[in-house]
């Protein structure tokens, strides 16, 4: 950024805390800090959100041009893979904000630019990490242990679940710790068959833990089971930080939101303390500085790493809080593999509303966590798909390709088969490795002149072995239901099969925490070892990426960090 050609406007006011980013981590930080009377300025790169206008819940495909396939039917031509009906401003590619991928690597990065970040878009699966997930190195000698334990985080999982609302049931399974749950809706029709297949194979299949409320909570009405969570929920019956934490926090009078404010650099003084954040005000295309006592960085794991790497000074020549050189390293995503099947036993069911909330009402937590001498380390859980659901553009393309033909015969067959497909998606743990990281691209900048990230990524033999185990399991499940496997992928070391890195959208680990400042950027409170008034409240601090989806843990950690900040501010330490 050519900051010397712009006039930099400094805020006269000094905020207690500047929070950068309004997703899961930023939302929790804003809620907890303002709730304690701390004055917060929130910088969000995207615009404000108006759920009534911006969410597309309850619209039918025929209400919009090309049934939601985008302008000119772009989706038919593969140009708009993220459909019209999705919650707004999230995409695989953002105009003017590129990233690069090093030769020999593959990586895709889904980003959101709107109040609430990706919590407007996410699947809301909300799983606690297990106690053993915090000590991976002690368990099998791979990776690194976290600087905190399950017991340290458990009270914050409790608070997070009770506040945002998560469905579930008490099961007593060590790989799926129980929590404070809302009642879960009953299994959908196909899920009954899946549960039976799981039980034949000794795989647990339990009610889903999802951030949807089935009973009213804090003024939010219960879910009315329209099955359209991915479009955003106008009644806030599912969790998005925008609706559940940030907009309510405005009522405290302690929050000022700066939307369309893209943080460019965090400024620090000669003592290594953060003093201000420099940002681009997209509305006026000016550079501004906002002063503060504390910064909470919650721009998402990779954006937070980028911002630190872009905040260089004589004291921090490799980027702020990065004298250890770990910022950007240990990038992980989740190992993903899916297999679908056609189950004749489900054919011809009456077409009634089985939508419930979006996604499965049941899932399978990892069942071999205590098995010795497994063929791969760690494990995965299974997410389950199927049922009727609202058809959209391209919903039946697979069947058209498989069945062939046209006209009445084809339509009758599609109607008969409707609802008789099931899908199993494995979500597994990746072991951090030295070949997977992000760094600043030496050449490419975004439309504001800010250097962008370049990604390097490699799955190791551990992940390929795990993917092969997933595939075998899913094939066995489908066949045990009397089904026919469709589109088998056969993951191979030298080819395709595991999800493209980044596409499970659980990228994390790039600002790792630890006890040793030589090998970590943050301590157990996600506080900079070298910069005591800098905190990171997204998935950057994660030390490992257990099979459980990360967002509930982002919220719990951000809550714990925010409690700690409030206490440290009270004591005058920061």
Question: Of 119 and 433, which has the nearer Cβ to ligand SF4?
Answer: 119
- HSE toward the beta carbon, residue 464, CA cutoff 13 A: 11
Distance CA 100, CA 202 (A): 44
Distance CA 308, CA 287 (A): 18
Binding site for ligand FAD (CB under 6 A): 20-26, 43-46, 90, 110, 112-113, 117-119, 121-125, 262-263, 298-300, 303, 307, 505-506, 538-539, 549-551, 554
358 binds, among ligand SF4, ligand FAD, none (CB under 5 to 8 A by kind): ligand SF4
Classify the phi-psi angles of 273: left when phi > 0, otherwise alpha if psi is within -120 to 50, otherwise beta: beta
519 binds, among ligand FAD, ligand SF4, none (CB under 5 to 8 A by kind): none
* Angle CA 97–98–101, to nearest 5: 155
CB of 267 to ligand SF4, least distance (A): 41
In what order do the strands lie in the sheet containing 437-445?
A: 100-101, 451-456, 437-445
SS3 letters across 481-532: CCCEEECCCCCCCCCCCCCCCCCCCCCECCCCECCCCCCCCECCCCEECCCC
CB of 160 to ligand SF4, least distance (A): 18
CB of 493 to ligand FAD, least distance (A): 27
Question: Of 85 and 366, which has the nearer Cβ to ligand SF4?
Answer: 85
CB of 461 to ligand FAD, least distance (A): 26
Token pair recorded at residue 122: 């996410």
Question: Of 41 and 343, which has the nearer Cβ to ligand FAD?
Answer: 41
Question: Of 31 and 214, which has the nearer Cβ to ligand SF4?
Answer: 214
538 binds, among ligand SF4, ligand FAD, none (CB under 5 to 8 A by kind): ligand FAD
357 binds, among ligand SF4, ligand FAD, none (CB under 5 to 8 A by kind): ligand SF4
228 binds, among ligand FAD, ligand SF4, none (CB under 5 to 8 A by kind): ligand SF4
Distance CA 179, CA 159 (A): 10
Report CA dihedral (246, 249, 251, 253) to the nearest 10 degrees: -120
212 binds, among ligand FAD, ligand SF4, none (CB under 5 to 8 A by kind): ligand SF4
Question: Of 296 and 566, which has the nearer Cβ to ligand FAD?
Answer: 296
CB of 294 to ligand FAD, least distance (A): 16
Binding site for ligand SF4 (CB under 6 A): 57, 212, 223-229, 233, 235, 237-238, 357-358
296 binds, among ligand SF4, ligand FAD, none (CB under 5 to 8 A by kind): none
CB 390, CB 401: distance < 8 Å: no
Complete DSSP assignment for 450-472: -EEEEEE----HHHHHHHHHHHH
CB of 355 to ligand SF4, least distance (A): 7
Which of 198, 147, 201, 153 is closest to 177 using CA atoms? 153
497 binds, among ligand SF4, ligand FAD, none (CB under 5 to 8 A by kind): none
Q: What is the maximum alpha-carbon separation in the chain?
A: 76
CB of 470 to ligand FAD, least distance (A): 18
User: The dihedral of CA 224, 230, 236, 239: what is its sign?
Assistant: positive
225 binds, among ligand FAD, ligand SF4, none (CB under 5 to 8 A by kind): ligand SF4
Which of 78, 105, 115, 104 is closest to 93 using CA atoms? 78
CB of 116 to ligand FAD, least distance (A): 7
Question: Of 43 and 556, which has the nearer Cβ to ligand FAD?
Answer: 43
User: In this structure, how many other beta carbons lie within 10 angstroms of the beta carbon of residue 381?
Assistant: 24
Which of 219, 191, 218 is closest to 205 using CA atoms? 191
CB of 348 to ligand FAD, least distance (A): 32
Question: Of 232 and 426, which has the nearer Cβ to ligand SF4?
Answer: 232
Question: Of 22 and 228, which has the nearer Cβ to ligand FAD?
Answer: 22
């Amino acid at each position: 950024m050519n900051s010397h050609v712009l006039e930099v406007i400094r805020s006269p006011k000094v905020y207690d805390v500047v929070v950068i980013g309004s997703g899961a981590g930023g939302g929790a930080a804003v809620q907890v800090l303002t709730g304690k009377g701390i004055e917060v300025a929130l910088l969000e790169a995207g615009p404000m959100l108006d759920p009534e206008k911006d969410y597309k819940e309850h619209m039918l495909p025929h209400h919009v041009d090309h049934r939601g396939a985008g302008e000119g039917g772009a989706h038919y031509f593969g140009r708009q893979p993220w459909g019209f009906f999705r919650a707004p401003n999230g995409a695989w590619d953002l105009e003017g904000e590129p990233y690069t991928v090093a030769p020999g690597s593959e990586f895709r990065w889904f980003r959101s630019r709107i109040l609430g970040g990706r919590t407007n878009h996410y699947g809301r699966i909300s799983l606690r990490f297990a106690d053993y997930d915090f000590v991976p190195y002690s368990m099998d000698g791979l990776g690194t242990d976290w600087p905190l334990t399950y017991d340290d985080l458990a009270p914050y999982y409790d608070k997070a679940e009770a506040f945002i609302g998560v469905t579930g049931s008490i099961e007593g399974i060590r790989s799926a710790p129980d929590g404070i749950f809302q009642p879960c809706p009953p299994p959908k029709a196909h899920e009954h068959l899946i549960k039976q297949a799981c039980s034949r194979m000794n795989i647990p299949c339990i009610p889903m833990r999802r951030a949807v409320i089935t009973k009213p909570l804090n003024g939010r009405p219960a879910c009315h089971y329209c099955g359209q969570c991915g479009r955003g929920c106008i009644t806030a019956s599912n969790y998005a930080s925008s609706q559940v934490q940030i907009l309510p926090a405005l009522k405290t009078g302690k929050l000022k939101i700066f939307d369309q404010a893209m943080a460019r650099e965090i400024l620090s003084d000669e003592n290594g303390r953060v003093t201000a954040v420099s940002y681009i005000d997209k509305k006026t295309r000016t550079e501004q500085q906002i002063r503060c006592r504390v910064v909470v960085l919650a721009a998402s794991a990779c954006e937070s790493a980028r911002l630190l790497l872009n905040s260089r000074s004589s004291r921090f020549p490799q980027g702020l809080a990065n004298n250890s050189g770990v910022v950007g390293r240990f990038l992980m995503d989740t190992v993903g593999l899916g297999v679908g099947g056609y189950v004749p036993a489900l054919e011809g069911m009456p077409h009634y509303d089985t939508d419930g909330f979006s996604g499965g009402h049941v899932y399978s937590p990892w069942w071999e966590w205590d098995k010795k001498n497994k063929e791969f380390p760690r494990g995965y859980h299974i997410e389950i798909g199927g049922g009727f659901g609202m058809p959209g553009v391209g919903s039946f393309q697979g069947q058209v390709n498989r069945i062939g033909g046209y006209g009445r015969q084809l339509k009758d067959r599609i109607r008969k088969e409707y609802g008789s497909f099931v899908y199993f998606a494995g979500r597994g743990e990746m072991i951090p490795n030295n070949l997977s990281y992000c760094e600043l691209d030496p050449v490419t900048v975004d439309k504001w002149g800010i250097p962008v990230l370049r990604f390097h990524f490699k799955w190791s033999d551990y992940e390929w072995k795990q993917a092969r185990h997933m595939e075998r399991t899913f094939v066995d499940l489908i066949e045990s239901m009397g089904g026919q496997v469709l589109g088998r992928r056969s993951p191979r070391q030298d080819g395709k099969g595991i999800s493209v890195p980044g596409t499970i959208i659980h990228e994390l680990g790039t600002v790792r925490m630890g006890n040793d400042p030589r090998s970590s950027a943050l301590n157990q409170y996600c506080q900079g070892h070298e910069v005591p008034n800098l905190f990171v409240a997204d998935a950057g601090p994660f030390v490992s990426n257990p099979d459980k989806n990360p967002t509930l843990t982002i919220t719990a950690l951000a809550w714990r960090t925010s409690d700690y900040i409030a206490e440290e501010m009270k004591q005058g330490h920061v």
